[in-house]
Amino acid sequence: MAEAAVEIVTETLSSLLLEEIKLLGRVKREVESIKRELESIRSFLKDADARAAVEEEGRRQ
């Protein structure tokens, strides 16, 4: 009887752990995607700042 209960708990925990692993994998992919997007935005803003600085310098001359 106790052995059956332990087996059920073990199977349930195994199933839950597998689901958690799948969720964490998806979260990792989403975080990596967000990171790439933020790097792209940072690059765009850096370029925009450089262009604005060139324009400002042109107006001063």
Q: Which long-range contacts (CB under 8 A, 24 or more apart) does 37-44 make?
A: none
Q: What angle do CA 49, 50, 52 make, to 5 degrees?
A: 65
pTM: 0.65
Buried-exposed string 22-38: b where 16+ CB fall within 10 A, e elsewhere: eeeeeeeeeeeeeeeee
pLDDT digits (tens, 9 = 90+) for 1-54: 789 899 999 999 999 999 999 999 999 999 999 999 999 999 999 999 999 999
Q: Could you give the CA distance from residue 33 to residue 44 in angstroms, rounded to a whole number?
A: 17
Q: Cα–Cα distance between 20 and 6 in angstroms, integer?
A: 21
